[in-house]
Structure 1
Amino acid sequence: MLLGKKRKLGRKVDEITVGEKLSIKKRIEDKDLLLYLGLSDDANPLYIQHDYASQTPFQKPIVPSILITGIITSAISKYLPGPGSHIVSQEIEFPKPVYHDGNVELLFEVVEVNPIEHFITLSIVGTNEKEDTVITGKVKVCPPHRLYEIHPTALENF
């Protein structure tokens, strides 16, 4: 159960410095695609039909761009800045497709820290197993806010 458990929050804006990097690798498996397609009800033949995709310049089914964006947002929520953070804007390009069963390596780098407006900016570059760039972008993130302790009995009457 998620409610009632204390969770460690990610790093605060004043704990992050320009130049920090994070690298993650992810293999896009069939289960990932099926979960996305089932959840989104997206039946784009370019994502699932080999006969259709083989007649396009892509030659075979590709991974939906939004699924890769989900991997990016997950990395931000888990690692940099971590739990409690929130993406406020993003500019992401997909210069080459990612194919089914492909590997993606994402490199995040902190390029701006703005403690006054409480945000950081991350640059992102993603490459496939052939080291082709498949993702580039910048994401503006609001790191978790510093919380102040609430006296344990302050909310007893609610």
Structure 2
Amino acid sequence: MLLDKKRRLGKQLEELSVGESIQLTERIEDKDLLLYLGLTNDNNPLYIQHDYAASTAYEKPVVPTIMLTGIVTSAISKHLPGAGSYICAQTFHFPTPLYHYETVQIQLTVENIDTINRQIKVKVEGLNSKEEIVLEGTVTAVPPIHPK
């Protein structure tokens, strides 16, 4: 059973440093969009209908912004600080849409370490293949607390 397994936890607060960062690259494919749509029942035609999207200022289907947010929260859980982390706040802006079949590069950088509240602030920036900003913001997370 998954819950019975001992898992390696991410970095504790004391193991992190300001400026520490990771970069990940994700390509958005049909399977990703179909999973999102199936989970959320969000059938916005701007996300899935090429003919509708072609009639808008966007000209082609866009990736739901919550999918980009999901990539970020997954990166927090997997890498920085890692497994056992808890996200307590997030603020994002999406100045340029990301389109289907595009690749996004997301950079996460520890911007601040609050030892009193045991939280870190992570700066987030996502770029499309043209190096346009498709995602920017911050995440406040509580690093994992290792059991005694």
How far apart are the structure 1 equivalents of 2:43 and 2:134? Answer: 22
Corresponding residue of 1:110: 110
Alpha-carbon distance in structure 2 between the residues aligned to 1:18 and 1:146: 21
The 1-side partners of 2:68 and 2:111 are apart by 21
Deviation of 1:111 after TM superposition, in Å, equals: 0.5
Fraction of identical pairs, as percent? 51
Deviation string, structure 1 residues 108-153 (Cα, Å, up to 9, x no partner)? 11000012201000000100011111110011001001310xxxxx
Gaps of 5+ in 2: none
Residue 70 of structure 2 aligns with which residue? Answer: 70
Give, in whole Å, the separation in 2 of the partners of 1:47 and 1:98.
11
SS in 2 for 1:77: helix
Instruction: Give 1 or 2: higher helix fraction.
Output: 2
Q: In structure 1, what is the equivalent of residue 83 of structure 2? A: 83
Q: 1:151: which partner in 2?
A: none
Provide the C-alpha distance between the structure 2 equivalents of 1:125 and 1:68, rounded to a whole number of angstroms. Answer: 11
Contact (CA 8 Å) 2:109, 2:123: kept in 1 or not? yes
Query: 2:97 aligned with 1:97, yes or no?
Result: yes
Residue 56 (structure 1) shift:
0.7
Which residue of the partner structure matches residue 27 of structure 2?
27
Contact 2:112 2:122 in 1 (8 A): yes
Runs (4+) off by over 3 Å? none
CA distance in 1 between counterparts of 2:3 and 2:20 reads 32
Q: Which residue of 1 aligns with 2:124?
A: 124
SS in 2 for 1:46: helix
Alignment partner of 1:113: what SS?
Answer: strand
In the alignment, structure 1 segments of 5+ residues that lack a partner are 149-158
TM-score by structure 1 length?
0.92
Corresponding residue for 1:154? none
Q: Is the 2:9–2:146 Cα contact (8 Å) retained in structure 1?
A: no
Give the match for residue 49 of structure 1.
49
Q: Is the 8 A contact 2:25 2:105 kept in 1?
A: yes
CA RMSD of aligned residues (A): 0.6
> How many pairs align?
148
1:18 maps to 18
CA drift of 1:4 comes to 1.3
CA radius of gyration, larger in? 1
